[in-house]
Structure 1
Amino acid sequence: MQLPLFPLEIYVLPGGISKLRIFEPRYTRLVKLAMAASEGFGVCMKDGDTLCHFGTRVIITDFEQLPDGLLGITVKGVEKFLINKHWKEEDGLRFGDVTPMSNWTPAEIKFVDRDISNSLKALFEEYPEHAAQYPIPDYNDMTWVCQRWLELLPLETNQKQWFMSRSDHRAALSFLHNVIDEQLNKDL
């Protein structure tokens, strides 16, 4: 599959929602291409000037004119992908030949994992502007909870790429237990 690529500093995983400002002509073209095709486009991270290996195919779910006159779009993550090769066209827009990867299977929350879900819920309550992006949060799906945490945490690019390469949520869950359990113990 070929997709136009949008290299960003943000991390979007399947089910993730993000708002983007479009101001460069090449990305206006990307939006037009994404609206004309059902595939959407790819969001991928950069490590310095190098495009990372993994990204997420997103679709545009909403758009608006921002107060500064620029185009604002809301995107939702659909599936992860591996970039096999990529190239840049004359206007600077990147394209990639990508292979879709399986999404993490939804997983019912276990009793031992409730603190991770409850901490995300508390964070969303503290920051309602972020929670507003998720009108129907799924705090009972550990995969959904892990993906939202990974999007929010200030991790290094290589760490985020490593989690993206995993076939399920278990590595992320183990990592989150270390981070959140440690924080909860400090708060006691």
Structure 2
Amino acid sequence: MQTREMALIMRDALLLPQGRIEVRVVEPGQLRMVADVLKGKYDLAFAAMKPSGNPPCYPTATQCEIIDFNQLEDDTLSIVLEGRQRVSILSAAQAKDKLWMSRTLPCQNWQEEPIKGEFELISAALEQFYEVNPDLLELYSQVHLEDAAWVSQRWLEVLPMYNRDKLVLANQPDCHKTMDFVLQLIKSHVD
């Protein structure tokens, strides 16, 4: 596998493959980074912020693409990112304009698999979650509630947990532990 240079965008959130997130871009270095990514100079990776460390993010990130952008009322830029490929950050350095650049290695994405049996409950619960949070649903042109990997990753993105705990589940070889975790969480709130 080949390493790739990627700009890092870090937030206190998680973005996984096929997920979408909207972020504000304010700093001049980040605006330049958006322009350079759109010009194809380098790829972009989204990483969850870490309280301390250099770089100030966890070593697991997601290569993403800018799929939309809007100018906000306060003249800042909002970009919508879509996760593509999980990556490991091997090294990172900060430029003068405070932009972080990283050397990354691709990781295995979770494979698609059908949701079956009692796990259909986590799919139905995610559908209800999106009904209550239409702003998140609006980010998607289509949802894949039949795919266990897709549903599991969307739950990891929205659950109110520490990023380090989410990444323990996200770094598993498949979605099964996440499915078990979310199912137990839902059942404990139903009982």
Percent identity of the aligned residues?
25
Superposition CA RMSD, Å: 1.3
Q: Which deviates the most, 130-139 or 78-87?
A: 130-139
Give the Cα–Cα distance (whole angstroms) in 2 for the partners of residues 71 and 165 of structure 1: 31
Q: What is aligned with 2:173? A: 167
When structure 1 is superposed on structure 2, of 132-141 and 31-40 the one drifting more is: 31-40
Could you tell me which of 46, 60, 69 is aligned with 1:54? Answer: 60
2:16 to 13, 16, 22: 13
The amino acid that maps onto 1:128 is P
Matches within 5 A, 1:44-83: 44-50=47-53, 51-83=57-89
SS in 2 for 1:102: coil
Moved more, 101-110 or 163-172: 163-172
Residues 33-55 of structure 1 show CA distances to partners (whole Å, capped at 9, x for unaligned) of 21011863011112213221101
What letter corresponds to residue 151 of structure 2 in structure 1? V
Q: Secondary structure at the match of 1:137?
A: coil
Instruction: Quote the residue 1:4 is aligned against.
Output: 7
Q: How many residues were matched structurally?
A: 185
SS at match of 1:163: helix
Contact 2:13 2:163 survives alignment (8 Å): no
What is aligned with 2:92?
A: 86
TM-score by length of 1: 0.94
TM-score in terms of structure 2 length: 0.92
Aligned counterparts, 1:134-145, within 5 A: 134-145=140-151
Q: CA deviation at 1:109?
A: 0.8
Deviations 1:132-152 (A, max 9, x none): 112311110011110111000
Look up the SS of the partner of 1:159 in the other structure: helix
Q: Is the 8 A contact 2:87 2:107 kept in 1?
A: yes
- Using a 3 Å threshold, how does the CA distance of structure 1 residues 74 and 147 change in structure 2: closer, same or farther? same
Whether the 8 Å contact between 2:63 and 2:87 is mirrored in structure 1 is: yes
Q: How does 1:75-154 map to 2 (within 5 A)?
A: 75-154=81-160
1:90-142 CA-to-partner distances (Å, cap 9, x unmatched) read 11110111101111001101022111000000111122121111231111001
How far has the Cα of 1:163 moved from its partner?
2.0
Other-structure match for 2:37: 34
Q: 2:101 & 2:45 partners in 1: Cα distance?
A: 9
In structure 1, what is the equivalent of residue 189 of structure 2? 183
